[in-house]
Chains A and B, each alone.
With several copies, the nearest count.
Chain A
Amino acid sequence: MEDRDTLVNLYYTMVLIRRTEEKILELLLQGKLASSMCHVSIGQEAVATGVCSAMQPQDYLTSTHRGHGHIIARGGDLRRIIAELLGRETGYCKGRGGSMHLVDVQLGHLGSNGIVGGHIGIATGAALWSSLQNDGRVTVAFFGEGAMTEGIFHEAANMAALWRLPIVFVCENNQYAMSLPWTHATAEHSFARKGEAYGMPGIEVDGQDVLAVRQVALQAIERARRGEGPTLIGAQTYRFLGHSRGDPSPYRDKEEEARQRARDPIRLYQEHLFREGIMTQADVDALEAKVAEVIADAVRFAEESPPATLDSVLEDVFA
């Protein structure tokens, strides 16, 4: 059994992601974001939260265009995240990456990426270095199911399994890649079969159940750390909103949306916590208040920060 702190932290993280992204959408509508690119993960919080909770401090991860949740769950600095989105010099990328390029090398977060699947290479390489050095670290590569049909996924999965690299491939299957349903992306939907092609276990998990995700991730990460090689996790989840702003998702069935939204991972987990007597409504209210404060502080920090400058862009072309 998990201790109370862990269980409450999972809830806190999910709420923090949700509220932060709600705030980001608000800032977006106010025209405050410095870049037009912004993809929120509302509805998918349990995956980032469950997986990151299973990681050790020394571990690495790489992330996607829909990566706010990953960096928040990894303990990223909300101030620097919001500052990045507002295009400030204090942002994680000094304002020049925006929502798609968050990174925190101190936390082993090796960057989110605008090229679907592009960062899987970096993740594989980090795991290769860990394997060569035998440094005990594990790398987690998050990606959407859209990345599964890109060539780089194939090459990375094959190499990782071949060399038993300490990496966990976490597919957040939110059922759509922009407008393309997963049913129209591939003829084989079993993650077990997809993993087996490389000689690697493929495990499906309910991505709306944070505890289930955590369990599967703990096992896969420990397996990787023991030197037994990679695992492919297929976390079944759903993108509650459109692909990005201005996408009302007309290509999705409204009934399907309603059915999926009914399985809100935060609400499901809250019910569980209430049922098990781990948290009360009062606890939740206090937690929400704390989250609101943290977010308000981050926004304040960002808004007071100096804007990004061209000079710093010019300085950073070469290391």
Chain B
Amino acid sequence: MRRIRYREALREALREEMQRDPRVFVIGEDVGRYGGAYAVTQGLLQEFGPKRIIDAPMSEAIIVGAALGAAVVGGRPVAEIMYIDFATLAMDQIVNQAAKLHGMFGGQLKAPLVIRTQQGTGRGAGPQHSQSLEAWFAHVPGLKVVMPATPYDAKGLLKSAIRDDNPVMFIEHKGLYALEGEVPEDEYTVPIGVADVKRPGNNVTLIAYSNMVHTALAAAQELSQIGISAEVVDVRTLAPLDMDTLIASVTKTRRAVVIHEASVFGGFGAEIAASLQERLFDILAAPVRRLGGLHVPLPAHSQLEKQVVPGVTQVVQVVKEMIGAEVAVRSTSA
């Protein structure tokens, strides 16, 4: 199958949806003439013109607000917030307005709005350009939160997000834009709210999303060398969360490690770990483990940055500990 990059997959999704539905438009900073800070919207201004690819002034709150208002009266906007760190400037519009609009107004209004943004480390972009804030948004009723890990999912999920009648936080990862992967030429979508088993396995489930799916896959590969069969489940959508798929996997493997780049403390991994132990207490052979970033402002220094977020070695190490510990417990209790 054809291989394209994550950023190209996203661009295709935008282009196809804009062709399919004249109500779809893009608004954000530097999305037109510049083609997007991470080049996702490159060429779209030329193709669709300035009424559908709108370069906005530097005003994050009104970018989201204007997209929301347009959505309320019939548009299907895709607002871009260049870095998720700048979503801090639009939290009222996202959380108090967009997320609540449908429920708060008794179902009278709806907000079919996508907020595309990107987050994470990998470019030494420093404390104010590298945060991972997905946990905030997943905690807000009325928001959907999508975090694709592959070009295939990126394209299919973005198309679904644009067609969704609810506000969707669509969180990309700055380290993934150049990643290549198989993407069919034919039209397809990936449903929101469905996790995906990216690699089957039996001894442990590695639960991850966004860039950490690749860390998990690499760890699974390494673990297979030492006879440990790890299943990798890509959460893909944090809200609504597909607990069924996670439960099915962990019911089988009886062990789970949740991995994300965001700070472990108060991170979304806690939700998954807490749920799993609530639901599978009698099945789990070991506690659900969490791996995530250190609870520090992210250093701009690329080398330090790497040390702050989880890597393959740590995943492998934790799995070994889990399986080793369990063997140890089993042998002492025997």
Contact = CB atoms under 8 A, between A and B. Distances in A.
Task: Find out whether A and B make contact in their complex, taking CB atoms under 8 A apart as touching.
Answer: yes
Interface of A: 34-37, 60, 87, 91-101, 103-105, 110-111, 113-130, 132-133, 146-147, 149-152, 154-156, 158-159, 162, 177-180, 184-186, 247, 250-251, 307-310, 312-319
A150 B296 CA distance: 27
B70 A125 contact: yes
Contacts of A162: 57
B89 interface: yes
A317 B141 contact: yes
B109 interface: yes
Given A132-B51, A178-B37, A307 B303 contact: yes
A35 B127 CA distance: 11
A130 B300 contact: no
B327 interface: no
A121 B68 contact: yes
Interface in B159-195: 165-166
A214 B184 CA distance: 59
A162 B302 CA distance: 40
B142 interface: yes
A318 B58 CA distance: 30
Contact of B124 (A34, A116, A128, A310): A34
B289 to A, nearest CB: 21
Interface in B43-97: 51, 55-62, 64-75, 77, 85-86, 88-89, 92-93, 96-97
A318 B102 contact: yes
Contacts, number: 269
A128 B92 contact: no
Interface string B97-115: 1000111111111111000
Given A118-B96, A317-B295, 7 more contacts: A37-B125, A92-B106, A103-B109, A114-B126, A115-B128, A124-B65, A125-B72
A115 B95 CA distance: 11
Given A122-B72, A125-B66, A310 B29 contact: no
B62 A152 contact: yes
A76 B327 CA distance: 59
B25 A178 contact: no
Interface in B113-166: 123-129, 141-142, 144, 165-166
Contact of A316 (B73, B103, B301, B308): B103
Contact of B29 (A114, A180, A186): A180
A113 B64 CA distance: 16
B66 A128 contact: yes
B30 interface: yes
A110 B62 contact: no
B281 interface: no
